Structure 1
Amino acid sequence: MVLGKQILALTCCLSLLPVTTMAQSETQGSFSDYVAVLKQEAADKGFSQQTIDAVFPKIKMFKKAKATKNNQAETPVTLETYLPQVVPQSKVDLARAFYKQHYAELEKIGKRYGVQPRFIVALLGIESNLGQSPANYPVLSVTASLAYEGQRETYFRSEFFAALKIIDQGGFSFADLKSNATGSMGKAFFLPSVYLSYAQDGDGDGKKDIWGNSSDALASVAYYLQQTGWKESETWGRQVWVPKQFVPSVASLSVKKTFNEWQALGVRRFDGSDLPKREDMQISMVMPDGINGRKYLVYDNYRGLLQWNASDYFAISVTYLSERIKYPPII
């Protein structure tokens, strides 16, 4: 789900339809016919014949569709209900254990890319449950099937050829490139195009293996955040308190003020104490659930998380997990 920045929020909402209905009516042909067109396009684009011969016979229609439940009343979602579901204690325990196990490696990667390790672990924890979420489908079959289904053909066709390029560059086979049902790959849940832009060789073994190599996955996430302009000297933001007369219209990422300016509007730390006394930061406020919900002052690093997934709920879940990793201290 990020430069040509493909947003990983996609992983939350896409599903595949059965082979019948829309797909065949829109493409006017079978899936095998569609793959034949992709094969000819691959040749026209200059992919090696060796790659084409090795890959295309293995591409199959991906038939796994996400079941939808009908006739169920929607449950209102707020951060008060969302955070306990997305960041249960079991995930906190898993993230803290992972942080402790990989501490030395995380410290090196954090210094190399200028990203605090707890955010790297938290992002992996929310995105792929630190690599434990299922991602075992051949990405070329998944992206070809999603393109054939037709709702976002151009998008997934592009991702198909990005995945093909990964193989054509050498080092990985058709079977190596595994994804989830929406084409997000490996422990980092990178789409193929994101992999091409951001994947890193974390341990210097000459490969960028975000599937089986934790060092590569961690370095890739760190590099991505670095490229968003991540500031190692700053954190992400803080939950705050606002007075009853506070005007909610100023709670917008398009509005930036200093701490002193927010202080003058009556904003305080969540415990009621004064905000930091500094003028060198431009800060925004977000209220994902409106004036009656949680309020946060957020910094530039928060904006970096939104480039990964343009959802305040996502970004706040990452920052919440990062705080649970930080406190109480692990090391």
Structure 2
Amino acid sequence: MTDSDNQQKWPALPATLSNIAVTKNSGKYESVSSNYFKVGHPRLVFMAENDEQVSHVVEYAGNVQRFVGHQIPFSVRSGGHGITNYSVNDGGIIIDLSQMNQVNILDEAKGLVKVQAGAVWGDVADKISKADLVLSSGDFGDTGVGGLATSGGLGLLVRKQGLTTDQILGATVITADGKKRNVNKEENSDLFWAIRGGGSQVGIVTEFIFQADKVEPAKSGQRVPIGLQKLSYNVFDLSHFLFAWHSWITTTTEDMSSLLMLTKNDSNSSIISVQATNIWCGEKTDSCEKYFTNALNIAKVEKQDESNLSYHTLV
């Protein structure tokens, strides 16, 4: 059976969705049908703009499955970084949340922030930094909020703040029946537990309430100051290096986070190139300087760079 034959068996689009549907004949199709890791070939992409449209898409997907008599692929896409490739598919439906991207500070003193799932973390950092607030969130500014926040969220300040899921106080979820539900510790608590690590398996999260942390400005007035150290090591004995790095990071306070990227050396396969990104949350102190100095002794440093910047600039 051809792809066009299958297409004819799908029910007609309801009026509520026709204006947000992207088909293979649309000029937008290529830019919204794939993610960073996989080229997708969905039948339809819906560019949802509000919760009601998300509900209608979920209901339509259910109607399609009943109409054709079998399951069809259904994906949720926010920023398009997902390495699992769940955010794209072939022959099915993608609901794209990138138009739902508002970031609002509800209570600056309490650090309460409302973020729609289609926002990207760079925009979140820009908004909340102006209020001296910070949320640990991934390591790229164009990563989408929805996918990362529901799947864990190993961020640049992970030792200071924990996972992004740890900062979720509440959310709005569209479940498989198309209903909109508010979830938190008291209301729909089972869903609240499930979305913090369950991805989109139990529903589509369209909005989050996060608990952000306050970071005092630097004496220079810089908002959400960060001390950044980037080091490049060439390592022959990776096991020895990792033990040494672990011994170093465990001597630091939780204000210091450290991320490692390991790659094989192009010119010598016995050498592992290690890129270390060491991040100090807050204005640099004597302790930070000591930790940065000690990091130089983990292994032979081929290249190093230190800077002071804002969290927004870092993201």
- TM-score, scaled to structure 1: 0.25
Which is bigger in relative contact order (C-alpha 8 A, separation at least 6)?
A: 1
More helix by share: 1
